[in-house]
């Protein structure tokens, strides 16, 4: 009687494991699986805006995963597979697009923004150093002026 719940739970868990394994992708060579996983995480689902093929359940993603698997089994290289897909779905499908005239802004802007930041930081830094030097100088000026004033004050007495 006490065992009924744990046994029931174990059966449910076993069933989910079995159901899950049914959907596993089969490969003739296990090394293909590693490349498959890498490709489907790096390829973007064309229907859904911000999901990769690995995460998406949409029918088109399922089809494209099958397509990637088929191409891997045909001994196509990663570059060939990506070319095959971009020639159909455009570069949208790549999460890491090549550098070309449509993507130079995408790749270049972080570098440019970093450079602007560096320049601003350097200039601010330089201005601060200059101020420290000049304030040091004014301090000396002030002291000597103070001494002068004190002296002249004593004269007036």
Partner 1 sequence: MNRIALFLPLALFVVLTVVLLLGLDKDPTELPSALVGEPFPVFSLPALHDANQMLDEQDLLGDVVLVNIWATWCFACRIEHAMLNQLEEQGVKVIGLNYKDNREAAIDWLKKRGDPYTFSIFDERGRLGIDLGVYGAPETYLLDAGGTIRHRRVGVVDDRVWNNEFRDLYAQLMDEKR
Report how far residue 138's alpha carbon sits from residue 136's, in angstroms, rounded to the nearest whole number: 6
Provide, rounded to whole angstroms, the least separation between the CB of residue 122 and partner 1: 15
Among 6, 59, 110, 153, binds partner 1 (CB under 8 A): 59
By beta-carbon proximity to partner 1, the closer residue of 125 and 142 is 125
User: Does residue 137 bind partner 1 (CB under 8 A)?
Assistant: no
User: Does residue 142 bind partner 1 (CB under 8 A)?
Assistant: no
* Distances from the Cα of 72 to the Cα of 27, 29, 59, 88, 135, angstroms: 9, 10, 20, 18, 70
- Residue 62 tokens, joined: 């399922």
By beta-carbon proximity to partner 1, the closer residue of 23 and 87 is 87
Q: Write phi, then psi, for 66 (nearest 5 degrees).
A: -60, -40
User: Does residue 86 bind partner 1 (CB under 8 A)?
Assistant: yes
User: Does residue 16 bind partner 1 (CB under 8 A)?
Assistant: no
Residue 53 burial (C-beta neighbours within 10 Å; 0-12, 13-18, 19+): buried
Judged by CB under 8 A, the stretch of 19-27, 34-42, 80-88, 149-157 that binds partner 1 is 80-88
User: Does residue 96 bind partner 1 (CB under 8 A)?
Assistant: no
Among 49, 57, 75, 152, binds partner 1 (CB under 8 A): 49
Instruction: Give Cβ neighbours of residue 74 (< 8 Å, ≥ 6 apart).
Output: none
């Amino acid at each position: 009687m006490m065992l009924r719940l744990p046994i029931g739970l174990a059966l449910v868990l076993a069933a989910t494991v079995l159901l899950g394994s049914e959907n596993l992708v089969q490969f003739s060579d296990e090394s293909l699986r590693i490349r498959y996983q890498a490709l489907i995480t790096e390829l973007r689902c064309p229907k859904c805006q911000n999901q990769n093929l690995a995460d998406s359940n949409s029918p088109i993603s399922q089809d494209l995963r099958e397509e990637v698997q088929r191409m891997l089994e045909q001994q196509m290289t990663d570059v060939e597979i990506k070319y095959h897909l971009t020639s159909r779905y455009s570069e949208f499908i790549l999460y890491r697009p090549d550098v070309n005239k449509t993507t130079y802004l995408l790749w270049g802007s972080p570098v440019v923004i970093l450079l602007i930041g560096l320049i601003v930081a350097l200039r601010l830094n330089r201005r601060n150093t200059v101020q420290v030097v000049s304030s040091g100088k004014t301090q000396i000026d002030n002291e000597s002026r103070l001494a002068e004033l004190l002296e002249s004050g004593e004269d007036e007495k």
